[in-house]
């Protein structure tokens, strides 16, 4: 596959995510979260909530590095350092441009978000339990590739609305690398099956 996205080092991205296939999934995930994440950062900045602002730009730094957007990762790292230093003036100056650069990736990532419309398998409690246990193990190992794979398997099942919304929430946590919360939610879902 020949992917070319301005500002993204595809070789590094494939190395970081584990495989080309996982990378394309990651692109789709990042695309889906982009608007929500940038809006959240803007809101936290407007509220001058530097503690949570710093947490969010840290997560965006990690996300950008994972998808090979190395310069952007560095930009978010700069914002993270400024956040830790409580340097609001610099943050207010730099954030809009960096978020704008991040959002400029959106049209390039969109095609990767569109191809998740496979036919669903019928609900299978024991299969879903096994996958959730694999996900928890992958979270413990910080194995992002295995986490993504487990999430894809979970989404391949027909689920009721409640379970679907929990899985969507879980997917967001995994994509954001919020591993503690993801593990907690995985256990809750397991208990509720």
- pLDDT, tens digit (0-9, with 9 covering 90-100), for 50-69: 999 999 999 999 999 999 99
pLDDT at 116 over 70: no
Q: Mean pLDDT, to the nearest integer, of 3-19? A: 89
pLDDT at 118 over 60: no
pLDDT at 120 over 80: no
CA distance 42 to 145: 30
What are the CA-CA distances from residue 47 to residues 50, 55, 89, 148 (Å)?
8, 15, 14, 33
Averaged confidence pLDDT in the chain? 89
Nearest to 142 by CA among 16, 6, 13, 5: 16
> Residues 139-169, buried b or exposed e (16+ Cβ, 10 A)?
beeebbbbbbbbbbbbbebeeeeebeebbee
The whole-model pTM stands at 0.63
| Sequence ranges of the chain with CATH classification 1.20.120 | 10-113
User: Quick check: 131 and 153 in contact, CB under 8 A?
Assistant: yes
DSSP state of 118: P
The alpha carbon of 65 is separated from its chain's Cα centroid by a whole number of angstroms, namely 11
Fold of 10-113: 1.20.120
Q: Supply the pLDDT for residue 115.
A: 54
Q: Supply the pLDDT for residue 177.
A: 79
Residue appearing with tokens 């390039």: 108
Q: Mean pLDDT, to the nearest integer, of 65-86? A: 96
DSSP state of 141: T
Cα torsion 121, 123, 125, 129 to 10°: value is 50
């Amino acid at each position: 596959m020949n992917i070319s996205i301005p500002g993204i080092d595809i070789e590094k991205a494939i190395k970081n995510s584990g495989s080309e296939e996982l990378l394309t999934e990651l692109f789709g995930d990042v695309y889906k979260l982009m608007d929500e994440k940038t809006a959240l950062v803007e809101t936290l900045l407007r509220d001058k909530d530097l503690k949570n602002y710093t947490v969010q730009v840290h997560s965006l730094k990690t996300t950008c590095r994972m998808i090979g957007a190395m310069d952007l990762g560095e930009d978010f790292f700069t914002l993270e350092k400024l956040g830790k230093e409580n340097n609001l003036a610099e943050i207010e100056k730099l954030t809009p441009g960096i978020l704008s650069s991040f959002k400029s990736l959106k049209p390039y990532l969109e095609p990767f978000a569109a191809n998740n419309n496979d036919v669903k398998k019928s609900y299978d409690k024991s299969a879903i339990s096994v996958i959730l246990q694999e996900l928890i193990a992958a979270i413990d190992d910080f194995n992002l590739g295995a986490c993504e794979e487990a999430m894809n398997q979970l989404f391949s099942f027909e689920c009721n609305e409640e379970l679907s919304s929990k899985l969507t929430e879980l997917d967001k946590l995994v994509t954001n690398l919020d591993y503690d919360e993801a593990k907690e939610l995985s256990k809750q879902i397991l208990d509720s099956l």
